Amino acid sequence: MGKELQSSAGSVSKFTKWMVVAIISSGAYVVYLTYLARYTFYDQVIDGLKITNSQLGVLYGLYGTTATIAYLPGGVLADKVRVKYLATLGFAMSAVLTFWYSTVPSYTELKVIFLLFGLCTTLIFWGIRYKAIRLVSTEENYSTTIGFSYGIVGVVGLIISFVSIGIFGMFADPTKGFNVVLMFFAIINAIFAVLSFIFIPKFKDEFEGERQKFNLNEIVQAFKHPGVWLTTLCMFFIYTIYTSLAYTVSFLTAIGATAAIASVVGTIRTYGTSLFSSPIIGGIAEKKTPSKTIIVCTIITGASLVVMAFAPKTSGFIIPSVILIIALSFFLNGAYGVTSSMMTETKVPTAIFGSASGILSVVGFIPDMFVSPIAGKWLDTYDTAGAYTRIFGVLAVSAAGALFCAWMVRVYKKKLEKKQA
């Protein structure tokens, strides 16, 4: 099957379509397994690597820098190389790096590993994530297929995370448990590399209509469009909170929760809430407009963060913290999922949508470069109350920034409507 040229969408068999959807959708989580570990197993990562919060922050900052630089060339690469080969290479490279990571190498080697992870996840895999789904979908069923794809990510994330929690529980030594979990992640990536090579076909029309020449005018138009920048800035603020949610796990252990309980909460927060928030918030946004939905979501998220910033950092606050973390995650995940839809709401032309998406990815995900180093430094410098008051306080300000951007989208939209009237 892999050697045959197959037409996209309607000409692809149902088996091939759903194999591609299953591999790419699951892969959208699998290829990021090692990077995402801290979102569920923050304390285990620190203990397993025997490094400080600041050092872990630097590692994730290096990853974020590489990833941010790689977003645009990753899109170009996806238009030049077949999905089949990029998927295989991305999974294989992630498997090799994760095996290396599992040996608990020196801090210098860890820096190299995280830099390379930025390449294999973003430069190689990111560009094909949505392209592969589009190749096996028609315009009519793309929305349904991508929605199903997000569901697969959530389910796979839950399963692998709970299996990993079980593996950690088998070892008294956190370093040993961490090593075994990483080897488990590496094996999964290796399996997906093989599956990609075998089951993802060479689509006959994979490059038709896509190998267009570089058009500087489209990028200039995208930069000039107010809707692009309002959406991009909103994504910047929302993603600042989104990428910082890993610290809710360490927060729970800092105020007295066990690492196992914190990991379960982290798993539910990251994958459980998204199973429900994405379709629910997405449905509301479709009826009420994305900007209105984001305004409500950011108000609830911001209020939850303010409470967490100034509430007592004691064991008596564990249960309220869990409730707040799950609640803010539900609304934040929903807002994160519909933010890019504001470009449609602000009438960004289809002709410059690709360039606009590139700007959104580069600027919107910049927080990956600085959030972890700053938060890690605070955790090592201040006590529990001082560190988390600062972290959650800054995130509350970010929620206010996202709220302002969404509000300005509504203002801009009304101006457009007046011009058209």
End-to-end CA distance of the chain: 54
d(CA 376, CA 374): 5
Q: Which of 85-99, 158-172, 208-222 has the lowest mean pLDDT?
A: 208-222
Banded model confidence at residue 214, pLDDT cuts 50, 70, 90: low
Task: Examine the pLDDT at 333 and tell me if it is beyond 90.
Answer: no
The percentage of the chain sitting over the pLDDT mark of 90, rounded to a whole number, equals 47
Q: Which two tokens stand for residue 260?
A: 């196992």
Report the pLDDT averaged over residues 165-193. 90
Question: What pLDDT score does 130 carry?
Answer: 72
Residue with tokens 């000039």: 224
Q: Is 84 helix (H, G, I), strand (E, B) or coil?
A: helix
What Å distances lie between residue 39 and 8, 36, 63, 359, CA to CA? 36, 6, 15, 26
Question: What pLDDT score does 22 carry?
Answer: 92
- Could you report the per-residue pLDDT of 364-405, keeping only the tens digit for each? 989 988 999 999 999 999 999 999 999 999 999 999 999 999
The segment with the largest mean pLDDT, out of 144-148, 156-160, 228-232, is 228-232
The answer to whether 293 touches 338, Cβ cutoff 8 Å, is yes
Task: Examine the pLDDT at 102 and tell me if it is beyond 70.
Answer: yes
What Å distances lie between residue 246 and 37, 40, 193, CA to CA? 9, 7, 28
- Could you report the per-residue pLDDT of 241-284, keeping only the tens digit for each? 999 988 998 999 999 999 889 989 988 888 788 778 877 887 88
DSSP 126: I
The answer to whether 243 touches 368, Cβ cutoff 8 Å, is yes
Q: Which of 194-203, 267-276, 351-360, 377-386 has the lowest mean pLDDT?
A: 351-360
- Could you report the per-residue pLDDT of 53-64, keeping only the tens digit for each? 999 999 999 998
CATH 1.20.1250.20 in the chain: give the residue spans. Answer: 9-201, 217-421
Q: Is 5 exposed, middle or buried (0-12, 13-18, 19+ CB in 10 A)?
A: exposed
Rounded to two decimals, what is the model's pTM?
0.79
d(CA 85, CA 106): 31
CATH number 1.20.1250.20 given to 9-201: yes
| Cβ neighbours of residue 315 closer than 8 Å, sequence gap 6 or more | 255, 256, 257
The answer to whether 18 touches 137, Cβ cutoff 8 Å, is no
Question: What pLDDT score does 140 carry?
Answer: 60
- Across all residues in the chain, what is the average pLDDT? 86
Question: What pLDDT score does 421 carry?
Answer: 65
Q: Which two tokens stand for residue 140?
A: 């009519």
Task: Examine the pLDDT at 300 and tell me if it is beyond 80.
Answer: yes
Q: Is 321 exposed, middle or buried (0-12, 13-18, 19+ CB in 10 A)?
A: buried
| Cβ neighbours of residue 152 closer than 8 Å, sequence gap 6 or more | 21, 22, 25, 26
Output the DSSP codes for 183-223.
HHHHHHHHHHHHHHHHHS-EETTSSTTT-PPP-HHHHHHHH
Strand partners, 5: 202
Q: Which of 186-200, 325-339, 391-405 has the lowest mean pLDDT?
A: 325-339
DSSP 136: T
Banded model confidence at residue 144, pLDDT cuts 50, 70, 90: low
Instruction: Name the residue among 368, 371, 372, 406 with its Cα closest to residue 71.
Output: 368
Question: What pLDDT score does 2 carry?
Answer: 42
Instruction: Name the residue among 254, 275, 268 with its Cα closest to residue 161.
Output: 268
Instruction: Name the residue among 241, 223, 292 with its Cα closest to residue 401.
Output: 241
Q: What are phi and psi of 138, to 5 degrees?
A: -95, 170
Banded model confidence at residue 19, pLDDT cuts 50, 70, 90: very high
Determine the topology of domain 217-421 in CATH. Growth Hormone; Chain: A; (1.20.1250)
d(CA 364, CA 236): 4
- What is the rounded radius of gyration, in angstroms, for the C-alpha atoms of the chain? 21
The answer to whether 148 touches 15, Cβ cutoff 8 Å, is no
